Amino acid sequence: MITSGRWTRVRIAVCGTVFAALFFAVGRRAYHLQVNDADRLRAMAEEQYLREIELPPRRGRILDRNGADLASTADVDSIYCNPRQLAEPRETARKLSRLLGVDRAELEKKLEQRRFFAWVKRKVTPEEVVAVKALGLPGMAFTREPRRFYPNRTLAATIMGHAGSDGGGLDGVELALDHQLRGTTSSVQGIRDALGRDIAVEGSVEAPSSAGSDVVLTIDRYLTFITERALAEGAAAHSAKGAVAIMMDPRTGEVLAMASVPTYNPNDPNGAEEVGARDRAITDTYEPGSTMKTFTIASALDAGVVKADDRFDCLMGRMMVGRYSIHDTHPHGVLTVAEVFKFSSNIGATKIARRLGRDAFADALNRFGFGHPTGLGLPGERSGVVRPVDKWGDIGLANISFGQGISVTPLQMIAGVSAIAGGGIYRQPRIIARAVAADGTIETLPVAPDRRVISASAARTMLGIMRGVTEPGGTARQAAIDGYNVGGKTGTAQKVSNGHYDASKWVSSFLGVVPAEDPRLAIIVILDEPQGGHLGGAVAAPIFKEIAEQALRYLHVAPTNEIVASAKGGPATGRDPVAARIPAPTAVPEGDEAANDAPATDLPLDDDALGEDPALSEKWDEVAGTEGGRTPGQPTERVVVPDFAGMTLGQAIHAARKSGIELAFDDPDGRATGVALRQHPAAGPAPRGVVCRVAFGRP
């Protein structure tokens, strides 16, 4: 029997054991919470009242070569709200959508969510801020955010691209150098209340060390402006689908201007893609047409297989290549290499390429950079297409010699001609000069080393040949600039549509350098599907002239020739009417089956050898009927009309141009075959500007 004293001790022991167990359990739990789970619980607690606030860095500027702002960043207001404080979300959405120009349904969806935070509209104008504050809506708040501005609006837009609302680059330079421009994101700790509102921020919100680098481009703002203006006006005048122009310094490879039509305003990029705004200089490829003859002849001169005065029989404008016939727009007899280029003979170019050989020609095209991206450093650059040489065949070699069956980018073409203008040295095109960090550190992008593509003597000879294109009788008299020697080449090529060349769709171009004896500028102008005329000499050459004239003045390039005054006392226009215009038949395959290596359709006609606006040919009868072809009011000057009797067409054209007179043809069928049989006026003195009509035939 347990006594009362003993029972008391048992109860005390039991209670002590229970309390000890409880104390051990509490201690164990406390140890687990305070030691083992301390970090996890601390983080959970801090998550409720601490907020890590990311500070977007100030995006670096984009500058032109002279330090002018092309893109910069400024702090602007953004509007947000606490949807829980809104009594009528739908009515609030209605008012704000009308005021801020945002989608009502989307805003209503945001405001009806029972959250503590929702963006109303980011990066608004000061006027919009004032208007929202005037509404007195509950829950509205404002904060400052950096916004990208493009002070020159559309200027160089397709080069720079634009940045998104989060500050990241989306296209062009903004995307290519996003890492340098964006800088490093920093953050600070903030404290928020039970409603999620920030009530205190620790640390400085200024983070100068994280600012993005400034990027300096090689382009010049003024040169870009005159290039864009001339290109836009030319494209509008010819109702072109698109257009591109590039200006390069052949001594350095620096791109001074690069323009595309259509363009857009990067401050408001909506709809840019729909209208086709893009950097066509690198994203679009095309068949270059006769501008490719520049590289055909330059490569042959470098290989030593031809000289400028070597002569080729151009077969009066028609030559068979397998089952196909190649045509020239103008029928020519024997022409020198320089005349093949000047008169843009497809047959002459084919014969020169044959003498060079397929392998050597393919190697030369590779050296000039065709078939490879130039490495400009902007996104979206294409490489073009040069078929493997073992698939060319005879017709393939012919096609490529005059710019068909090969696709290139405008940048590749200007880089190639700059190599010729730069003494035969290929310099990788550059548009990004350097990046300058906030601390002054300069970063330059790697550039491929210069390489020789043709000899210096071949380059000099080619520049001399190129001058003939803008001289009397050449295909681009409208590119001639008073006081300067201009070298260049026109191109007029049909576009491929549904696997066939489309006679209604053309690409018109002019590729030129100035001054030709010591080039300071290389410029290419290309119009896509111009209307009402498509000859490179009539469509693209005048745009080149307008750009080059203003650029030469701006760069203080002194004239190399004496400036000739016109009869009215002003500068000479340099525009001569075309000497003759003979309709050329479209090249067609002979027989029922085409050669395996030939295009799937007829060889397209590259008619830039016409050289002038076709409308001029309609005035021949009118001009021939005036007194010696002289416009009333002009002073009468005398020239000597040669005796054309017995001359072939090519010989007659050469003699006429040497004498400074113009030819027209009296042949009923317009073919001007055989030799000259009769002429009017007869040989002897005549007024300058006379049009001599010559009839050709078999004696």
- Cα maximum dimension of the chain: 163
Q: Which residues contact 281 (CB under 8 A, 6 or more apart)?
A: 244, 246, 258, 260, 409, 410, 411
**Residue closest to 530 by CA, chosen among 276, 261, 257, 277:** 261
**Residue closest to 316 by CA, chosen among 355, 348, 342, 339:** 348
For the chain, how big is the Rg over CA atoms in Å? 37
Given CA atoms 598, 599, 605, 611 in this order, what sign does their dihedral have?
Answer: negative
Q: Is 186 a catalytic residue?
A: no
Question: What does residue 532 show for φ and ψ, rounded to 5 degrees?
Answer: 75, 15
CB-facing half-sphere around the CA of 158: CA atoms within 13 A: 28
Tell me how far CA of residue 34 lies from CA of 30, 41, 49, 84, 583, in angstroms.
6, 9, 20, 36, 97
CB atoms closer than 10 angstroms to residue 4: 6
Q: To 10 degrees, the CA torsion angle through 655, 659, 661, 665?
A: -20
Q: Which residues contact 143 (CB under 8 A, 6 or more apart)?
A: 77, 78, 80
What is the pairing mode between strands 62-63 and 214-217? parallel
Q: Which residue has the tokens 């920093």?
A: 186
Cα–Cα distance for residue pair 465/486, rounded to 1 Å: 11
Q: Which residue has the tokens 């595309």?
A: 260
Cα–Cα distance for residue pair 519/414, rounded to 1 Å: 13
Q: Which residue has the tokens 């038949």?
A: 585
Cα–Cα distance for residue pair 197/53, rounded to 1 Å: 12
Q: What is the DSSP letter of 531?
A: S
CB-facing half-sphere around the CA of 558: CA atoms within 13 A: 2
**Residue closest to 461 by CA, chosen among 517, 510, 383:** 517
Q: To 10 degrees, the CA torsion angle through 339, 303, 488, 224?
A: 170
Phi-psi region of 423 (alpha: psi -120 to 50; beta: other; left: phi over 0): left
Q: Residue 109 corresponds to which tokens in the numbers above?
A: 């969806």
Kindly name the residue from 78, 97, 186, 290 that is annotated as catalytic: 290
Q: CB of 500 within 8 A of CB of 211?
A: no
**Residue closest to 376 by CA, chosen among 219, 270, 228, 493:** 219
Q: Residue 241 corresponds to which tokens in the numbers above?
A: 């689908």
Burial of 458 (0-12, 13-18, 19+ CB in 10 A): buried
Cα–Cα distance for residue pair 285/391, rounded to 1 Å: 21
Question: What does residue 438 show for φ and ψ, rounded to 5 degrees?
Answer: -60, -30
**Residue closest to 378 by CA, chosen among 170, 565, 574, 190:** 170
Cα–Cα distance for residue pair 385/496, rounded to 1 Å: 14
Cα–Cα distance for residue pair 68/58, rounded to 1 Å: 18
Catalytic (active-site) positions: 290
